[in-house]
Amino acid sequence: IRKKAIEKIENSSTLDELEEIRISILGKKGELTQILRGMKDLSKEERPIVGKMANEIRETIENKLTEVKEEIKEKIKRERLVSERIDISMPAKEKRVGHRHPLLKMIEELEGIFMNMGFSVVEGPEVETVHNNFDALNSPENHPSRDPSDTFYITDNILLRTHTSPVQIRAMKKLKPPLKIVSAGRTFRFDDVDDTHSPMFHQLEGLVVDKNVTMANLKDTIDKFVKEIFGDDIKTRFRPHYFPFTEPSAEVDVSCLECRGKGCEVCNGTGWSMEILGCGMVHPKVLKNCGIDPEVYSGFAFGLGVDRIAMVKYGIDNIRLLFENDMRFLEQF
């Protein structure tokens, strides 16, 4: 029994085989168990001898079983380690992560600059009333910008806002002075598309209303903003202009970013780059339209062309690139 068992055990390669062998020898009906059971038929003299032998044999077989069991377990473990090995030098799959659109980044940067100057960010709808877009802003009944060839009307009273200035009206009616807000978003005009025009573009509106707000505060705010976004050596130039909702009004140019104001080909030797915003002191009639007493309060407002600032800042010469969503363009930001 011993010889046969040891041989079988050594030849087995799985834990199941080993268990089968154990049962066939040491199990309830196993060979050795049978022999031990038959002991009662033996004589008094034979019993201890056979018993001793049987126990020795059982011990050897049990030891052998454990020994081979350990070997097989060890083997299984080694095989698993080999089959589950990870090649850490294998190149990973490329992960392509999206990012924010350059215009959205521009808006967030502009809002950030104004927030640092104490402005709050508010929102206004792209679909506006004619009242908020024109009437309340003191726009004359016959002003050319009201013409359906310039403005997208939805009904007689509803339109796509032509500028972000209606947010001024909403803010003044809702918040009451002192107030200091900016609001950015889409604006719409019936323009033909060319390198610098698009029927949909972006503006950022600013409005400050408080006691004793002056033109000096307006200039100071604009100067600080321009230096923040374009650099300390960039100058501003205020040119008188007309807007129905501000008086006095101005347009602001910045010095050429290419030559920093010295005069070069880009600016035709003038040292000045394009106009980036319109601004002025809030018209007393507009304050009154919003229930604010112009005898007590005054304010200034400005409207920046966001697409223009992005174009100047990033050196983009065609506004269409901002809206076409060509990945080759977007991936550069």
List residues binding ligand PHE (CB under 6 A): 163, 165, 243, 246, 249, 278-280, 301-303
Residue 241 CB, nearest distance to ligand PHE (Å)?
A: 8
From the CB of 230, what's the least distance to ligand PHE, in Å? 19
Residue 316 CB, nearest approach to ligand PHE (Å): 21
In angstroms, the CA 97 to CA 329 distance is 16
CB of 124 to ligand PHE, least distance (A): 13
Q: Which is nearer to ligand PHE, 57 or 279 (CB)?
A: 279
SS3 readout for 165-209: CHHHHHHHHHHCCCEEEEEEEEEECCCCCCCCCCCEEEEEEEEEE
Nearer to ligand PHE by Cβ, of 68 and 254: the residue is 254
- How far is residue 273's CA from residue 254's CA, in Å, rounded to a whole number? 6
Binding residues for Mg(2+): 247
**Which residues are registered as beta bridge partners of 180?**
208
Amino acid letter for position 107? I
Residue nearest to ligand PHE (CB): 303
Smaller CB separation from ligand PHE, 261 or 303: 303
Q: Cβ atoms within 10 A of the Cβ of 286, count?
A: 23
Q: How many CB atoms lie within 10 A of CB 95?
A: 5
Q: How far is the CB of 162 from ligand PHE (least distance, A)?
A: 7
The whole-angstrom distance between residue 245's C-alpha and the CA centroid of its chain comes to 37
Nearer to ligand PHE, 109 or 247 (CB): 247
Closer CB to ligand PHE, residue 61 or residue 222? 222
Sign of the CA dihedral running 12, 18, 20, 23: positive
Nearer to ligand PHE, 9 or 250 (CB): 250
CB of 249 to ligand PHE, least distance (A): 6
Binding site residue list: 247
Closest to 146 in 3D by CA, of 129, 130, 169: 130
Q: Any idea how long the chain is? A: 333
Query: Per-residue DSSP letters for 115-156?
Result: HHTTPEE----SEEEHHHHTGGGT--TT-GGGSTTTS-BSSS
Residues linked to residue 236 through DSSP beta bridges, in sequence order: 254
